[in-house]
Structure 1
């Protein structure tokens, strides 16, 4: 079974649109913060350092979000992330935004990142250490 990383995030007044629902752009921010929490959980947060963690250098290639039902008002939500697929130099995250008391999605989506050489910005393969660390979170290996 695939493991996931989940964080509790606050939705605040300034996250809401004129209809008092979570603004569509804020979902991506919640997801971004959860990925940061995931990296920190794995011991990879902090300042970029190619010597300590060459896999830190990656670019976002694509984000895809499907909005299923609105988050209304100021409240907490759960944001869940896992590795949907790990390629040679790409990584696709899956994510869900959920209420604190149900497993019914507010939104779900994916983000694809590509590991790059920090100087040339050309794609390079993920390291074996990175692959091994992410293995329990991979849906493509652990359905």
Structure 2
């Protein structure tokens, strides 16, 4: 898909800073994962699922990335604001499968797209644990139709 998603999921603007760029003046490939991470964290934090004082505000905040896949289409040249668009393709018992796009702020250019799978963990055992009903309800607003 090289057309920006407009009808489902969320869009969170993210800044590209000078120190995100490589020697050629384009966004370094490793920074895409950081931008996606920050956008998803901001979205969840706005819904009170985050960390405060080093502790999760809800059990659902305790999760890790299991998989990350990205395809690059067009380089981001220079600094400025971009958009991270993301949604859930699937919400499992212990996993959440995100789709995402990194686009221009005007949604005319898809720079990259991919998928990311998060697993909710039990903090005591560090093993997969089911999402809570509240977390599932919040996540449902991101589900792809």
The TM-score normalised by the length of structure 1 is 0.88
Shift of residue 104, structure 1, vs aligned partner? 2.7
Partner of 2:29: 24
**1:25-48 residue CA offsets vs partner (Å, 9 max, x unmatched):** 010110111011111122212322
Q: Give yes or no for contact 2:50–2:58 (8 Å, CA) kept in 1.
A: no
Shift of residue 20, structure 1, vs aligned partner? 0.8
Question: Is 1:108 aligned to residue 113 of structure 2?
Answer: yes
Question: Is 1:84 aligned to residue 89 of structure 2?
Answer: yes
Q: Give yes or no for contact 1:7–1:79 (8 Å, CA) kept in 2.
A: yes
Give the Cα separation in 2 of the matches to 1:56 and 1:102: 29
Match of 2:59 among 43, 46, 54: 54
Q: Give yes or no for contact 1:2–1:137 (8 Å, CA) kept in 2.
A: no
| Change over 3 Å in CA distance of 1:33–1:118 after alignment to 2 | same
Secondary structure, counterpart of 1:88 in structure 2: coil
Give the Cα separation in 1 of the matches to 2:142 and 2:93: 16
Give the Cα separation in 1 of the matches to 2:34 and 2:43: 14
User: Aligned Cα RMSD in Å?
Assistant: 1.7
Partner of 2:68: 63
Secondary structure, counterpart of 1:106 in structure 2: strand
Shift of residue 102, structure 1, vs aligned partner? 3.0
Secondary structure, counterpart of 2:78 in structure 1: coil
| Change over 3 Å in CA distance of 1:131–1:2 after alignment to 2 | farther
Question: Is 1:131 aligned to residue 142 of structure 2?
Answer: no
